[in-house]
Amino acid sequence: MKFSIVITTYNRVSLLRRAVDSAINQTIPCEVIVSDDCSRDDTQAYVESLGDRVVYHRNEVNKGHAATVNAGVQKASGEWIKFLDDDDYLANNCIEEMAKAIAFCPSAVICSCVAAQVDEHEIELSRTPQLGPGLAFSVPQADIHYGMLLELLPFGTPVQVACSRDAFCKTGGWDSQLDANCDDIDSWLRIAQFGDAIFLNQCLAYRTIWPGAYNHKFAVAKRLDTNILIKEKIYPLVHKNHYNHLPKMGDIKKYLILHWAFVALKQRKFIVFLRMFYQSAFSLMVWKILLTIVFFRNLHFQNKLIKKSVLYY
pLDDT in tens, 273-302: 999 999 998 898 898 888 877 776 555 445
Mean pLDDT of 129-140: 86
- pLDDT, residue 164, reads 98
pLDDT at 195: 97
Q: Does residue 30 contact residue 77 with C-beta atoms inside 8 Å? A: no
Pick from 53-62, 215-224, 253-262, 303-312: least confident = 303-312
Residue 171 has pLDDT above 50, yes or no: yes
- Tens digits of per-residue pLDDT, 234-254? 999 999 999 998 999 999 999
- H or E segment and range at residue 111: strand 108-118
Closest CA to 152 of 310, 312, 303, 311: 303
What integer is the mean pLDDT of 208-215? Answer: 70
Mean pLDDT, the chain, whole residue set: 91
pLDDT tens, position by position, 88-112? 999 999 999 999 999 999 999 999 9
Q: Which of 104, 117, 129 is nearest to 198 (CA)?
A: 104
Q: How many CA atoms lie within 13 A of 206 on its CB side?
A: 23
CA–CA distance, 175 with 168 (Å, rounded to integer): 12
Asked if pLDDT for residue 214 goes beyond 60, the answer is no
CA distance 52 to 89: 21
Quickly state the pLDDT bin for 196 (edges 50, 70, 90): very high
pLDDT exceeds cutoff 80 at 216: no
Q: Give the residue with greater pLDDT, 281 vs 74.
A: 74
Chosen CATH of 3-215 out of 3.30.300.30, 1.20.1260.10, 3.90.550.10, 3.40.50.150? 3.90.550.10
pTM score, whole prediction: 0.91
Task: For residue 275, count other CB atoms closer than 10 A to its CB.
Answer: 14
pLDDT > 90: what percent of the chain?
A: 74
Provide the residue ranges of all domains of the chain, joining segments of one domain with +.
3-215, 219-310
pLDDT attached to residue 133? 74
